Chains A and B, each alone.
Chain A
Amino acid sequence: MSNATEIHQALGAFDKTTSRWGRITMIIGLFFSLAAPAYLVFFAGLDIELSGIITAFAALAAVFGVIWIVEPLTYFPILGASSMYQAFMIGNISNKLLPAAMIAQSTIGVKPGTRKGELASVAAICGAATVHLASLFIFVGLLGTWLVSVIPVDIIQTVQFYILPTVMGAVVVQAIVSQKAPRSAVIALVVSVIVVFFAQLYKPFGLFSTAVAVIATAVLAWVFRDRKTLGTPEDVPVDATPEGPVY
């Protein structure tokens, strides 16, 4: 079986290179992404307290902490080890990288989960990254400032004042559609309305409102889950991943 050993060695070398350099490049990417705020906080002469950052981070962790861990767990079986280091640095995984990988695999007729499929998805993600970096660089990096400079001031003010409700309106709908969990959506709506109402009555509560709403919804969604389809772990389809571009 010298053929089998050859395959084994070649793939071993591929795994070694990608996991080694994948990790190294990701750590450097991590460094650059943290260097920007570190400069603002420590060297730009801004009045930002470290305790303020810790508070903000704690608020964020309460809201997204679960998702930080669950996302890598969700994507690992789909992407494979080597692509994990690509995907979580390039971002926009479900709306761009997963479709790219799937289209590449079906174009050359290989199945996901096979070694050929893994190489196809690595190549596809490289291709997607190339297009993505180029379009970001040209349309946002080079032309973005110019685009903004030709837009009248009062339109820019509208964007600045109302961007959050605008983004959230669309994103909420997208999240509901992609999750396909109407019970959770109803629970989230009821909890959010109650929480926002209390935050209006008692302003200091506003600080914790997001975290309270998220934790309460998560607990209630679990308690009131549809036990017919989610009763036992075995019933859950393995490939039941969200399809929408929210993740």
Chain B
Amino acid sequence: MQIPAILPAVADSNSTDILALANSPVLWACAIGVFLVIIVQSVIYMKAARVAAPHIGMSQAELKTSFRAGAISALGPSLAVVLVAVALLTIFGTPAVLVRIGLIGSVSYETAAAAIAAKTAGAELGGPTYTQAVFGLALAAMSLGGAMWMIATLILTPLLKRGDSALRKVNPAIMLVVPGAAMVAAFMVLGIGELPKSWLHVVAFVSSAAIMTILMVVAKRVNKPWIKEWALGIAIILALAITYAATRL
């Protein structure tokens, strides 16, 4: 599993050796491509901001302070994302984890998307049915789903900027109720759907939910926002540890 891994001579649809395929150089190249694009974009944006700033009475020092404030405040959340990403490496391989979970998407949507995609092929993430072909399907679905967010952004941003868009007149109550309910339901049904599989699945789900609840309550009680940042990573790692202990019983 060196970087870059050796290109598999012929991929095997039925092999469960996901990482042989998931760490292939082509996927690495695409992941690095996304990294570079974001770097280029940031450089262009910073330059544009530096040019515009003096004209609106903003000093270069203020701009620098903003950059630094953003960088420092991202430290915690970024390391929290790293923790979750490492936990998912064996499922999706490094390049896919970097792009889908680290960048463009987020762990909740991407894991849900991969699970839904695998289900349409009668398979599950991880385990004996998770073959290279299922991984390919899951990555395709995650990427297409992520693409829809980007395409929506590309189409909607200019429309919203014009300000006369009918989109702004959508009933805000619908906007407030429906997406939130849809999101909770998606995660809920995916989680509860795991429960009938085995008592260990129940242990994993319940312990993770319980740890998260405790962390949320504690974060509120002691008013420490950093706990919320780290909660997802901590809950996943601890719940996996509990589940691992349970498998040894």
Number of A-B contacts (CB under 8 A): 615
Top 8 nearest A-B pairs by Cβ distance? A124-B70, A169-B208, A10-B55, A127-B70, A168-B191, A160-B126, A221-B181, A217-B185
Residues of A within 8 A of B67 (CB): 104, 123-124, 126-127
B66 touches A213 (CB 8 A): no
16 further A-B pairs in the complex, CB-CB below 8 A; given A32-B37, A67-B179, A148-B1: A26-B153, A41-B140, A48-B137, A57-B145, A68-B152, A81-B157, A90-B103, A135-B78, A136-B98, A144-B97, A158-B243, A159-B87, A167-B208, A172-B188, A181-B177, A221-B178
Residues of B within 8 A of A13 (CB): 48, 51-52
Report A151-187 residues with CB < 8 Å from chain B CB.
154-156, 158-177, 179, 181, 184-185, 187
B47 CB to nearest chain A CB (Å): 8
Q: A91-B103, A174-B231, A193-B192 are in contact. Are A14 and B181 (CB under 8 A)?
A: no
A164 touches B126 (CB 8 A): yes
A63 touches B116 (CB 8 A): yes
Residue of A nearest to B134 (CB): A48
A104 touches B70 (CB 8 A): yes
Report A206-236 residues with CB < 8 Å from chain B CB.
206-207, 209-210, 213-218, 220-222, 225, 230-233, 235-236
Residues of B within 8 A of A121 (CB): 66
A163 touches B125 (CB 8 A): yes
Looking at chain B, what size class is its interface with the partner chain?
Answer: 35 or more
Residues of B within 8 A of A90 (CB): 38, 103-104
B23 touches A164 (CB 8 A): no
**Can you pick out 19 interface pairs between chain A and chain B where the beta carbons lie within 8 Å of each other?**
A26-B153, A28-B33, A32-B33, A72-B156, A76-B156, A81-B157, A88-B150, A89-B37, A90-B104, A95-B80, A123-B66, A127-B69, A132-B102, A144-B89, A161-B200, A171-B111, A174-B108, A187-B181, A188-B185
Of B96, B146, B191, chain A has the most CB atoms within 10 Å of the CB of B191
In-complex Cβ contact of B205 among A69, A169, A221 (8 A): A169
Residues of A within 8 A of B87 (CB): 159, 163
- Encode contact with A along B6-49: 1 for CB under 8 Å, 0 otherwise: 00101101000000010110110011011101111110111011
Residues of B within 8 A of A225 (CB): 173, 177
Number of residues from A at the complex interface, CB < 8 A: 170
CA distance A109 to B65 in the complex (A): 11
Residues of B within 8 A of A171 (CB): 107-108, 111-112, 187, 191, 232
In-complex Cβ contact of A196 among B80, B189, B244 (8 A): B189
- Encode contact with A along B111-141: 1 for CB under 8 Å, 0 otherwise: 1110111011100111100101101111111
Q: A25-B44, A46-B11, A225-B173 are in contact. Are A168 and B52 (CB under 8 A)?
A: no
B126 touches A128 (CB 8 A): no
CA distance A64 to B183 in the complex (A): 8
B158 touches A37 (CB 8 A): no
CA distance A181 to B178 in the complex (A): 11
Report B65-99 residues with CB < 8 Å from chain A CB.
65-75, 77-82, 85-91, 94-99
Residues of A within 8 A of B213 (CB): 173
B90 touches A165 (CB 8 A): no
Residues of B within 8 A of A91 (CB): 102-106
A13 CB to nearest chain B CB (Å): 7
In-complex Cβ contact of B228 among A85, A107, A235, A245 (8 A): A245
CA distance A116 to B46 in the complex (A): 14
In-complex Cβ contact of A210 among B52, B119, B137, B239 (8 A): B119
A51 CB to nearest chain B CB (Å): 10
**Is B249 an interface position by the 8 A CB rule?**
no
A239 CB to nearest chain B CB (Å): 11
B78 touches A166 (CB 8 A): no
CA distance A155 to B212 in the complex (A): 21
A80 CB to nearest chain B CB (Å): 9
In-complex Cβ contact of B62 among A28, A59, A120, A149 (8 A): A120
A45 touches B34 (CB 8 A): no
A166 touches B11 (CB 8 A): no
CA distance A149 to B86 in the complex (A): 11
CA distance A246 to B228 in the complex (A): 11
B147 touches A100 (CB 8 A): no
Residues of A within 8 A of B143 (CB): 33-34, 36-37
B212 touches A173 (CB 8 A): yes
Of B66, B99, B133, B152, chain A has the most CB atoms within 10 Å of the CB of B66
CA distance A137 to B81 in the complex (A): 12
CA distance A155 to B135 in the complex (A): 21
Residue of B nearest to A115 (CB): B56
